[in-house]
């Protein structure tokens, strides 16, 4: 399979003022594209693995030949993480979740405010580059972080919300203020998408 950067479902400036247009352009068109290019070239010569989906590759990294495992983990992870990320945000979004995921946040995480604090701290305390996630693990919600471009599916957990805390995700607008970026991220969370991913993960 030749992987491609998916088209954004909204304009580059649609997440303003929380996520700025310039960051979106560079992040989507340059950073994500670079992960895709490097993933494709890593898989190019491998007849067996080039036909697998990105989910299949990342779910079982140990099955990937050692010669390309690091490339699949890093660039494949980068491709998958960003593909999820663009959908996890939306214009005129944010606010509070509703539906099943809201009930699960109450039950498993002690409510929306507790979740918010946990999620923010998870992003804040991820040393260096990485991601903070809301995941479904053994049927329950958990907040975790991963380094670099690791995705929770490689640990058997299903991501339903994630925030990129690599500096490229926020530096142009927020510089060193990762906390402020994380606060503003709550204004663009696409809870409808989170709910869909939650219901799918629970099936
Ligand atoms: Mn990124």
Residues 70 and 132 in one domain: no
Same domain? 128 vs 191: yes
Residue 142 Cα, ligand 1 centroid: separation in angstroms? 22
**197 shares a domain with 104:** yes
* Average pLDDT of the segment spanning 12-36: 98
Distance 51 CA to ligand 1 centre (A): 25
Give me 13's structure tokens: 């400036």
Interval between CA 145 and ligand 1 midpoint (Å): 14
Q: Is the pLDDT of residue 1 over 80?
A: no
Q: What is the pTM of this model?
A: 0.97
Amino acid 45: pLDDT: 85
Looking at the fold, whether 109 and 194 belong to one and the same domain comes out as yes
Q: Model confidence over 123-136: pLDDT tens digits?
A: 999 999 999 999 99
Task: Give the pLDDT of residue 163.
Answer: 98
Q: How far is the CA of 158 from the centre of ligand 1 (A)?
A: 19
> 7 falls in which pLDDT band (50, 70, 90)?
very high
Looking at the fold, whether 31 and 57 belong to one and the same domain comes out as yes
Q: How far is the CA of 107 from the centre of ligand 1 (A)?
A: 31
| 82 and 114 assigned to the same domain | no
Residue span of the structural domain in which 49 resides: 21-87
Render pLDDT for 183-198 as a digit per residue (tens, 0 to 9): 999 999 999 999 999 9
pLDDT tens track for 141-178: 999 999 999 999 999 999 999 999 999 999 999 999 99
Residue 162 pairs with which residues in a beta bridge? 133
Whether 164 maps to a domain, the answer reads yes
Whole-number Å distance between alpha carbons of 133 and 110: 17
Q: Which residue has the tokens 């409510």?
A: 111
Residue 116 in domain: yes
What is the CATH classification number for the domain harbouring 32?
1.10.287.990
Residue 40 has pLDDT above 80, yes or no: yes
Predicted confidence at residue 113, as pLDDT, reads 98
Categorize the per-residue pLDDT at 46 as very low, low, confident or very high, splitting at 50, 70 and 90.
confident
In order of 6, 90, 92, 141, 146, the CA distances from 157 in angstroms are 23, 24, 29, 10, 12
Our count of domains for the chain comes to 2
CA of 26 to the centre of ligand 1 (A): 10
CA distance 14 to 54: 28
The CATH number assigned to the domain holding 154 equals 3.55.40.20
Residue 28 lies in a domain: yes
């Amino acid at each position: 399979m030749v992987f491609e950067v998916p088209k954004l479902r909204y304009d580059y400036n649609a997440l303003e003022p929380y996520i700025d247009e310039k960051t979106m352009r560079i992040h989507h068109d340059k950073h994500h594209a670079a992960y895709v290019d490097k993933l494709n070239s890593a898989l190019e010569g491998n007849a067996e693995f080039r036909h697998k989906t990105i989910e299949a590759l990342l779910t079982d990294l140990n099955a990937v030949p050692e010669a390309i495992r690091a490339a699949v983990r890093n660039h494949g992870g980068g491709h998958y993480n960003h593909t999820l990320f663009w959908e996890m945000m939306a214009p005129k979004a944010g606010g509070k979740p509703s539906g099943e995921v809201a009930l699960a946040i109450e039950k498993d995480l002690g409510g929306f405010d507790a979740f918010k604090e946990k999620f923010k701290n998870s992003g804040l305390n991820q040393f260096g580059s990485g991601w903070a996630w809301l995941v479904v693990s053994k049927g329950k919600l958990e907040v975790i972080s991963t380094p670099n471009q690791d995705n929770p599916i490689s640990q058997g957990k299903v991501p339903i919300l994630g925030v990129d805390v690599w500096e490229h995700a926020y530096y142009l607008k927020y510089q060193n203020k990762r906390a402020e970026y994380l606060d503003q991220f709550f204004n663009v969370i696409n809870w409808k998408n989170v709910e869909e991913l939650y219901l799918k993960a629970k099936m």
